[in-house]
Amino acid sequence: MALFTDQSSERTGEPRRRGGLKGWVVLGVALVAGIALGVVPSPYVIEQPGPVFNTLGTAPNADDVETPLITIPDETVYPTEGNLDLLTVSVFGNRETRPSWLAVATAWFDPSRAVIPLDQVFPDDVTTEQRDSVNQAAMVNSQQDAIAAALTHLKYDYPTNVSVVSLPDGSPAEGILQEGDVIIAVDGTSVGSIGALRAALQETGPDAPVAVDILREGAAQTVQVTPVENAGSVVLGINVTTTYQFPFTVDLELDRVGGPSAGMMFSLGIIDKLTPGSLQGGAHVAGTGTIDQAGDVGPIGGIQQKLYGAKDAGAEWFLAPAESCGDVTGHIPDGLTVFSVKTLDDALTALDAIRTGADTSALPSCPTK
């Protein structure tokens, strides 16, 4: 019996030693894998909620001095209440500094963050500096459109010009039109907006010269350009922007933020400052969306992150572009009510309902599920 007991101990002890060794090997592999996941860069970047700015309040300028986001020095400005927040998205990572696989794995399980392929946000042929420059230009243009939309809503009259920004390679207008030219008319039809320019070109059709009246350095002249068809549209082969001659100065101050998505909220802030009373009755409202001179609200990116940014900032109400509702549905944080808006008037209707405490259930909204 003693011999049997001793042999049994030897037989059971040996596997125990081997099992312990396997456990240490597994632990070692896991540690190495964890370290690798923590340091090996991934081919992704992470979008997450960025800073939130109240268009009725202040923000640090380039010198870190608190400055009103909207200043209208030469007009009567009325007191405002509450928040009309514009929202931003921060991108963690770029081509030079990519997030680790561990950071990506963590973001996958966070509903307020999104994992995006690196090439989708930072194309290989575009540097980070070039991307930032384009986004900053988009912000500047959107601010001008926001002012135009607000003043148009308030029935102010002001001239609008369409100016040439650049000519792509192979443009039919190359050597004829140049940067800075103001397009006055096409084939006798006045052009006061980009939409009017497109309509005039569609009317003339492609492949035949048309008379283009321009202002170049203040001097009027007429040139001949032959439009071409591109993706179903008739074009002159020029990149243009709309410039406005506003009846008074509206300064919009928001440094280190790019892109066009703040347009609608800036328009609402301008209207609130130029009209008596509070548009939303002092409530905390956030929103996002591009806007044009006519007040049409357009879709934006990163809206899921903006929803969580709004909620974290304390907003109870959210104005979302109708065309972005597909990205909103199923991603609305608890306690946040989202309205779907197609125009500036839609947004103002929602704010009026919030202000008066009216039943908002009949207003257009993005489905929660």
CATH number assigned to the domain comprising residue 215: 2.30.42.10
Provide the CA 199 distance to its chain's centre, in angstroms. 27
Q: Give the residue carrying structure tokens 């926001």.
A: 146
HSE value, Cβ hemisphere, 13 Å, CA-based, for 124: 1
Closest CA to 310 of 133, 112, 73, 155: 112
Q: Which residue has the higher pLDDT, 45 or 8?
A: 45
Question: In the numeric block, which tokens belong to residue 353?
Answer: 């309902």
In a domain, 189, yes or no: yes
pLDDT band, very low/low/confident/very high, at 139 (cuts 50, 70, 90)? confident
Average pLDDT, the chain: 88
* Domain shared by 118 and 260, yes or no: yes
* Domain shared by 27 and 58, yes or no: no
Specify the pLDDT at position 242. Answer: 86
> Residues with Cβ < 8 Å from 144, sequence gap 6 or more?
242, 243, 244
* Domain shared by 151 and 270, yes or no: yes
* Domain shared by 114 and 62, yes or no: yes
* Domain shared by 17 and 80, yes or no: no
Specify the pLDDT at position 37. Answer: 55
pLDDT band, very low/low/confident/very high, at 20 (cuts 50, 70, 90)? low
Closest CA to 42 of 102, 106, 89: 102
* Domain shared by 85 and 165, yes or no: no
pLDDT in tens, 86-98: 999 999 998 889 9
Q: What is the span of the domain harbouring residue 186? A: 160-244
Specify the pLDDT at position 173. Answer: 94
* Domain shared by 150 and 288, yes or no: yes
In a domain, 128, yes or no: no
Question: In the numeric block, which tokens belong to residue 40?
Answer: 């090996």
Q: Rounded mean pLDDT of 192-221? A: 92
Specify the pLDDT at position 5. Answer: 39
Instruction: State yes or no: pLDDT of 363 exceeds 70.
Output: yes
Specify the pLDDT at position 272. Answer: 98
pTM: 0.81
Q: Is residue 179 within 8 Å of 168, Cβ to Cβ?
A: no
Q: Is residue 271 within 8 Å of 150, Cβ to Cβ?
A: yes
Specify the pLDDT at position 6. Answer: 41
Q: Rounded mean pLDDT of 111-119? A: 94
Residue 154: CB atoms within 10 A of its CB come to 11
Percent of the chain whose pLDDT exceeds 70: 89
pLDDT band, very low/low/confident/very high, at 24 (cuts 50, 70, 90)? low
Instruction: State yes or no: pLDDT of 2 exceeds 50.
Output: no
Of 8-12, 71-75, 140-144, highest mean pLDDT: 71-75
In a domain, 81, yes or no: yes
H or E, element range at 243:
strand 239-244
* Domain shared by 170 and 68, yes or no: no
Q: Hey, CA dihedral for 71, 77, 78, 84, is it positive or negative?
A: negative
HSE value, Cβ hemisphere, 13 Å, CA-based, for 263: 28
Last residue of a domain, one of 244, 261, 283: 244
Q: Rounded mean pLDDT of 187-196? A: 88
Poorest-pLDDT segment among 24-33, 91-100, 245-254 = 24-33
Measured CA angle at 172 (ends 171, 174), to 5 deg = 65
* Domain shared by 235 and 254, yes or no: no
* Domain shared by 4 and 151, yes or no: no
Instruction: State yes or no: pLDDT of 33 exceeds 80.
Output: no
Rounded to whole angstroms, the Cα distance separating 169 from 230 reads 14
In a domain, 137, yes or no: no
Domain count, the chain: 3
In a domain, 139, yes or no: no
Rounded to whole angstroms, the Cα distance separating 145 from 197 reads 17
In a domain, 362, yes or no: no
In a domain, 231, yes or no: yes
In a domain, 129, yes or no: no
CATH number of the CATH domain containing 284: 3.30.230
* Domain shared by 118 and 164, yes or no: no
Rounded to whole angstroms, the Cα distance separating 57 from 43 reads 38
* Domain shared by 304 and 317, yes or no: yes
State the burial class of residue 191 (Cβ atoms within 10 Å of its Cβ: 0-12, 13-18, 19+).
buried
